[in-house]
Every structure is written in C-alpha cells, then in structure tokens.
Structure 1
Amino acid sequence: MLHRSSSGNRLRGGPQMFQLSLDGKRLYVTNSLFSAWDRQFYSEMLENGSHMLQIDVDTEKGGLTINNNFFVDFGLEPDGPSLAHEMRYPGGDCPSDIWI
C-alpha cells in the first residue's frame, strides 16, 4: 500500500526502526527491516529505495506531526536505490548514538 505524506512524498512499506532524539522532540523513522523481508513484503522498496522521516513530538500539548521539511529518499542514491534500516549519527542525537 502506498501513501503520501502531506508534502507529497511517496511513503513505501511501513515504519520499522524508530530513534527518539535526546531532547524527546524528534522521532526519526526508517522503513526497511531486512532485505529478505523487504523483498517478500515490500518489493517496490527494492526498486525505489527506502526513506527516513522525522516526526515532531509536541512535548507541551502532546501529539505527533510529520515534519514535511525532512524527508530522506534513499532511492535517489548515486549507485542506485538503498535500503535504510537503523540510522546512527556521529556525535549522536539519539540515546543509542551515545557511546561511552
């Protein structure tokens, strides 16, 4: 099933990996689990790549909103479509990115 975000980007597959920012105000979501499973359940993702979204968390009033200014399309990679599973950022913005 294909859906579009309010910014018009095509959303493929379903949410798989979630990373909450250290301040709890951003939730990063990728949509690839394992290539073998993606191949079986989301074959279009193999052809078009996966994506990463940012969901803004309202820590004051509650609620979640897709940030339409943040959309990483891994289908546009120079060497062809890629599948993004778990994302980690050097220096970290998420609890799992902090290594002591």
Structure 2
Amino acid sequence: MITTLTQLEKQVDEQITDPLYPEVTLVCGQVEHWPGVRDGGELEEIYFIVKNRVGSLGDRLRTWVLSEYGPSSRLADWQTVPTSRQLRAEDEADEPF
C-alpha cells in the first residue's frame, strides 16, 4: 500500500515510458466540504494518479469528486505534480545540442 508522496511519485515513474509525454500524471487536489472553508467547512488535500487522455482533466476531476464525496463537496483547486524524472527530462530537452 502506498503511504507517502515519494512512493506515489515512484509508482508514476514506473508507469511512464517517456517522461516528456507521460501516460499518467500525479495530481494534487483540494476538496472543499460543505459549508465551505469560509463558513467553517473542511478543506482536504489529496494526491492521486490519473491517466492522460484527450479531454479536460479538470472536468474529469470534478466528476470524480462528485462521485466519491457527493454533492456536498467540490473540487476547490488542482494542479499536476511533475516527478523528478519528468523535471530532469524537461531540463535535458531544454539544453542546447
């Protein structure tokens, strides 16, 4: 069972064949639970792996939050988290020949 962010990043790295065009992406999301943070509700941070495919990732994440947490929660924010392997590949691609 994956228990740390480092283990999750390692799993992502093991699944991708080309770090510049990964098949899966590590995502960090914040789920806001009703009545909302400003009114005393909770904000939960979650990390998960998603498959890269055509379409809006934001829409897919919002649908997932609705199905997992119900209508009293919403996706407040999300961002992709590049792995160290992906960052190295981007640095190497930017270097002049």
| Higher-helix-fraction structure | 2
- Higher-RCO chain (CA-CA 8 Å, sequence separation at least 6): 2
Q: Give the number of the structure whose alpha-carbon radius of gyration is greater.
A: 2
Give the TM-score range, shorter chain: under 0.3
Which TM-score applies when normalising by structure 2?
A: 0.28
